[in-house]
Copies of this chain bind each other. A is one copy, B any other.
């Protein structure tokens, strides 16, 4: 979008990620609302952050919309699938979920290593420069926090 487009993948910088989250969350909620009004649709939208904060929009009533959804999806399914098939589905979901989480852990750990100056061989000059900038920012933040912490502890004496 503005000032250059961004690739659609996880934003690693926490500050940027949070700012983008706030903005896009607002945009998404607004568009959900507009669609429901314009086209007379029933909409339920749940947004849950990794830390568990929940944002929601429901054009009618969250519970009734969810119930309506469940009714349609389970009425077809639940009686036609056997117990074994259900287990298979759970098994598949479980495997996918675990795979996804492990991948996420891997990515996060790589990023961690880079931030500690390890495993840099795979990085090009451009990436090294970006990394340097991030780490420089980090150190200035840490130092200014040290000053604050020190100041607070003096106040306590």
Contact = CB atoms under 8 A, between A and B. Distances in A.
B125 A149 contact: yes
Contact residues on A (Cβ < 8 Å of other chain), bracket? 35 or more
A119 B153 CA distance: 19
A14 to B, nearest CB: 5
Given A9-B37, A10-B38, A45-B45, A135 B139 contact: yes
Interface string A4-19: 0010111111110110
Interface string A129-141: 1011011111111
18 contacts: A14-B116, A14-B119, A18-B39, A45-B45, A45-B46, A56-B69, A87-B88, A90-B94, A94-B94, A94-B98, A104-B105, A105-B105, A111-B112, A117-B140, A120-B141, A120-B145, A121-B145, A128-B149
